[in-house]
Amino acid sequence: MSSHQADLTTLSKLNKRFIHNFVTNDVASHDAILHPLFKQIDTKGGELDRAAYLIEWATGFDPNVITYWDMRAEDITLIGDVALVHATTKWTRVINGVETDGMTCYTDTYIRAGETWLCIHAQLTSVAPQNYPSDETIVVKYLHGILQT
């Protein structure tokens, strides 16, 4: 396997871990893949530094509220020691007994730190229905917080 292909494989695994960390509220595992200078921009343009982001991460996923979650349309671009990991999540949220479906795309920027890739930036964007990626592009899927195989 070429080093380029090995990096793509590693980054895809990190992307799946990123999603799994969210669904399981696993702060320790997530903390380990974040760069010390990490920042996030959410779907409404709000910015979070690493510390505030990890506080939200601890309780961000509730399987009674987010009953469906998948990650799809993964696309990874390598530019030297920088990688852009882009994908879309589909979700179903139940609020006050009402189900709402939607999608959010993200681009996570990773930088190589020695032999390790660390996420330094995450950008989230709401997706309009006409831009939804198809179900054929699903990479991982969770029902009530449980990974489906």
Longest dimension (CA), the chain: 51
Q: Are 58 and 142 in contact (CB under 8 A)?
A: no
pLDDT at 22: 97
Average pLDDT, the chain: 97
User: Residue 46 corresponds to which tokens in the numbers above?
Assistant: 């709000």
**3-class secondary structure per residue, 13-68:** HHHHHHHHHHHCCCHHHHHCCEEEEEEEECCCCCEEEHHHHHHHHCCCCCCCCEEE
Stretch (H or E) spanning 8: helix 3-23
- Mean pLDDT on 5-12: 97
What top-level class would CATH report for the domain 3-147? Answer: alpha beta
Question: Residue 25 pLDDT > 90, yes or no?
Answer: yes
Q: Are 62 and 92 in contact (CB under 8 A)?
A: no
pLDDT at 33: 97
What is the percentage of the chain residues whose pLDDT exceeds 90? 97
pLDDT at 84: 98
pLDDT at 1: 79
pTM: 0.95
Domain ranges of the chain: 3-147
Question: Residue 77 pLDDT > 90, yes or no?
Answer: yes
User: Residue 9 corresponds to which tokens in the numbers above?
Assistant: 């494989």
Question: Residue 119 pLDDT > 90, yes or no?
Answer: yes
- Mean pLDDT on 21-39: 97
Question: Residue 2 pLDDT > 90, yes or no?
Answer: no
Q: What are phi and psi of 57, to 5 degrees?
A: -60, -35
Question: Residue 44 pLDDT > 80, yes or no?
Answer: yes
Q: Are 34 and 50 in contact (CB under 8 A)?
A: yes
Question: Residue 63 pLDDT > 80, yes or no?
Answer: yes
